Structure 1
């Protein structure tokens, strides 16, 4: 373990959590009203960037108006490009006026309402007239992003949805697609010095283009035209990659690991991600989480375009995939096939992001010191117990440090941020009955109190959920057992075993300190853990030796030692071979637990 679990809570956060919050006028200065006028729809949102939760971009209001500025620019009968019609402009102005009323109700200052427009507005025949009409009708100016800037903002939106990332980033809207590379570490973000490369390959634009290539042609002629267009797209992406100046560190890693990680945003890719989720949930392994942000797919599944096209054609209902998105699926599949061919060294995995232009605009406001904060810790800090740091240190002392003589170690994937968030939420569900506390804790990261947190991977959601469920004794009604097993399938057997062990440590700590308060001058217990090889009755087992030390006193009216010994079985059972992950031949280790009396002060 070493220093891997060095966590401290920002005093400013404690100040805010304690209830000394911002005055209402100050709070209003942290509110942001944003309009993202995309090609397929117009998105409205109000976010609160006030501390201490700035990093997770909390949303107070969100809505989407189904106005396709891209489709509006084509005559429905002839397919000829036309100016944005007046009725559409009037509908946009009406939606903006309604949003201004909502912003006023929420207290958003007028100077913090911003409209962002992208490809469909940028390329409209009557773009200038359209923007002028909005100004006259609403009094608001529209920020028209250049295509390179659109890609940069989109990449920042992707960065907002993860702690640290390195790879290629793409945004697929209705009218255009952008590609760049992105490195985000400790709050510092690096992008290609060339910005991003943008192509008119958005989901709606590509759908229309492929239809035009095949219209009025024989099958052979249509296939040849599409093949030629595919070659053109591949050449354009190869050229873009060559000019992006991808850092050698990313290239070498892609060579070692059989491809680049691809970070994807925009409605076109999100639709593809929801199709993958549908396949995993209906035809696969009952995938447990339905949030698109943080969902990942390996190369084989991401590039299996035939399966996803078939699902889009035949499935009756697909969660979060509209009829318009279904129509665009063959075009997105075409793009995915092009990317698989064009990107050197291939695609190792695809990570789907909720963040886009809206989140990118907000994220660029944040200082690196805010960006580097972990989203999960920020989201859970409001639940922190009074002695959060002391409880954290006690819990960490029950996790053995890496062995100097062997490869034994606590899995790095259960990060300090996950452990810190576990401590901060250790008492959240304690007021519930035994019938519901384990279930509520298990669902807390996917549909409960932490489900809306922006920037948490599905695997971290699973780790925290399993930790919390074990903290509440791990007792579930039969209908929830399948969900728990599905969460476990997102992790390795080793990770699952450790969530059981650490969760049980949390259970015992909560019993010793039910109010979450530790008098550090007079601690009730001291905890230690080390690797051992002489465990069991025959002294032939390897595993953990855990010692709970209590202050040696002449009289112990609270009977702390006896009370503690009564509960030690919950940790001991984790090490029983029959409870190993995968059965007696699965992953696990023996755990020897003792309670001793000694001078600990």
Structure 2
């Protein structure tokens, strides 16, 4: 906290329909791209429900009681901003649908100004849609597909291509509908009270509106062609209503319990996303069994969200994947103010930069050279595409972060680093990247895991593909050897103690016949032989070779996905040569 600079702190109040969110973010470089949050709070004040509190159910003004509650929380946040020394010009109060459409909207905003001294920026429909879409863009390294934001009073639909810091959406912006989670709950209840015909009319209205909206968005031809080639659009979802649906899906995951309890980056296949009956049954069960991050209020809105999901399924083009994100108005507003060169940065690398040693780039080169760059000659095995340069840079940045942790807990610290550790608050990281990095770092430090930690490691291995699980084990053990050679993580200029080179070879194994073997050639620099000897590294070399033994391969019977259950065990025979 003592390193925070006042000019880099930005406070945002998001006065939404279902609640009011308060946050202070640090936009200092080099981590501005991931907009680290240094304070956050939420007031469960529904400005939408506040307008339907009368006995007749008709819309009315926000009551004096609710306004006083809002003022009280704003004044409390004002005190917090003073504690953090946030500059007045960096405090932003944003209001959306519920405030915009309130009968006493102007009076409400005037009272806030009088009692807090703050002006409220009332976002138009178009602004709310644009900023909400930017919140989605902030949540991933890149976005290409359809984007929806489900708030309490409204929902927005647009398309987006976010690449290299440039964000392009429909020239029309986002199409807004009065189908927010709270608003649609009320309309659905009213329709059902009138009978099936009224409910059918509501569904027909929604389908027509979404179909017409999609046609009006002028989806680029290349985006539609990409969707046809790939088997459908990627659908990106934000907003509290969709996040609640995502957590319900997470609780129904085939991998139980789901190992990464972070909604941003959670991905669902359409068949699960569209299984409204199962999700609604899960929500009903939550009355007796608490479901992580699903409140009673979100549970009460599940029937309406289920209706929306059903309508989307029947109205939009084919969807191939559904991706949930944390980013909303707050994140979109901050992301909108970042320079293009910052927005184009890879969030995975940015999130790990603060932990990098001065020689992280050299360490990256070593890890990279330990991975084969070609296909194996017999089984065409290769390093999975997930082991991208950005992921390897991130691993290199994190390789020494747990050096100060007690020796016996280092493997566990690495294992949990991406879920409850140093990267837990970095919202823009894909779940697969979190899993792979955790698996690598758990192998990076020698030692045992406790049974509960072994169980978590096993679930992470089930979460990724067998290939990704095995190569994570291999790279983690190579990283352990690198750590022994460079215990401080620093490489003197112009002096390299070791070099790696890899080649594929064909060997005969009794149980496998002729198969692929990866030869890792490890060369010690002549000048370093006095400080680093072969004998000192034999344990690490043995551990690398052990992961190539068939008994340590990733077992096919451990897979949870139906399409993987009949796959063969995966692994690669390893031979390490010391020169």
- Structure 1 length as normaliser, TM-score? 0.90
Residues of 2 paired with 1:440 and 1:342: CA distance? 46
The aligned counterpart of 2:21 is 43
Per-residue CA shift, 1:384-406, capped at 9, x if unaligned?
A: 12311111111211112134989
Choose the corresponding residue for 1:442, options 412, 415, 426: 415
Per-residue CA shift, 1:251-294, capped at 9, x if unaligned?
A: 122223332111111111111111112222xx753211111111
Matches within 5 A, 1:158-169: 158-169=136-147
The aligned counterpart of 1:63 is 41
Q: In the TM superposition, what is the alpha-carbon distance from 1:92 to its structure 2 partner?
A: 1.3
The aligned counterpart of 1:571 is 544
Higher mean C-alpha deviation, range 316-325 or range 152-161: 316-325
Choose the corresponding residue for 1:292, options 263, 268, 280: 263
Residues of 2 paired with 1:566 and 1:30: CA distance? 47
Residues of 2 paired with 1:549 and 1:297: CA distance? 45
Choose the corresponding residue for 1:546, options 517, 520, 529: 520
Residues of 2 paired with 1:300 and 1:383: CA distance? 40
Residues of 1 paired with 2:332 and 2:240: CA distance? 15
Query: Are positions 1:526 and 2:504 aligned together?
Result: no
Higher mean C-alpha deviation, range 189-198 or range 517-526: 517-526
- Does the CA-based 8 Å contact 1:294-1:458 persist in structure 2? yes
Query: Are positions 1:373 and 2:345 aligned together?
Result: yes
**SS at structure 2 position matched to 1:489:** helix
Residues of 2 paired with 1:539 and 1:337: CA distance? 52
Q: In the TM superposition, what is the alpha-carbon distance from 1:546 to its structure 2 partner?
A: 0.9
Choose the corresponding residue for 1:302, options 252, 273, 291: 273
Choose the corresponding residue for 2:116, options 138, 141, 149: 138
Query: Are positions 1:500 and 2:473 aligned together?
Result: yes
Residues of 1 paired with 2:551 and 2:377: CA distance? 28
Against the structure 1 CA distance between its residues 347 and 583, is the aligned structure 2 distance closer, same or farther, given a 3 Å change threshold?
Answer: closer
Against the structure 1 CA distance between its residues 583 and 180, is the aligned structure 2 distance closer, same or farther, given a 3 Å change threshold?
Answer: closer
Residues of 2 paired with 1:53 and 1:353: CA distance? 19
**SS at structure 1 position matched to 2:219:** coil
Choose the corresponding residue for 2:428, options 434, 455, 469: 455
The aligned counterpart of 1:587 is 570
**SS at structure 2 position matched to 1:436:** helix
- Does the CA-based 8 Å contact 1:577-1:583 persist in structure 2? no
The aligned counterpart of 2:334 is 362
The aligned counterpart of 2:196 is 223
Choose the corresponding residue for 1:327, options 297, 300, 314: 300
- Does the CA-based 8 Å contact 2:203-2:311 persist in structure 1? yes
- Does the CA-based 8 Å contact 1:536-1:592 persist in structure 2? no
Matches within 5 A, 1:148-159: 148-159=126-137
The aligned counterpart of 2:248 is 275
Matches within 5 A, 1:297-446: 297-315=268-286, 316=288, 317-344=290-317, 346-403=318-375, 408-446=381-419
- Does the CA-based 8 Å contact 1:187-1:369 persist in structure 2? yes
- Does the CA-based 8 Å contact 2:62-2:104 persist in structure 1? yes
Per-residue CA shift, 1:31-63, capped at 9, x if unaligned?
A: 111110100111111111011110111111111
**SS at structure 1 position matched to 2:114:** helix
Choose the corresponding residue for 1:92, options 54, 70, 78: 70
**SS at structure 1 position matched to 2:271:** helix
- Does the CA-based 8 Å contact 1:535-1:592 persist in structure 2? no
The aligned counterpart of 1:170 is 148
Q: In the TM superposition, what is the alpha-carbon distance from 1:535 to its structure 2 partner?
A: 6.7
The aligned counterpart of 1:254 is 227
The aligned counterpart of 1:488 is 461
Residues of 2 paired with 1:73 and 1:452: CA distance? 35
- Does the CA-based 8 Å contact 2:12-2:23 persist in structure 1? yes
**SS at structure 2 position matched to 1:29:** helix
Residues of 2 paired with 1:372 and 1:112: CA distance? 23
Unpaired runs of at least 5, structure 1: 1-20, 597-601
Residues of 2 paired with 1:340 and 1:195: CA distance? 22
Length, aligned pairs only:
565
Higher mean C-alpha deviation, range 113-122 or range 516-525: 516-525
Superposition RMSD in Å: 2.1
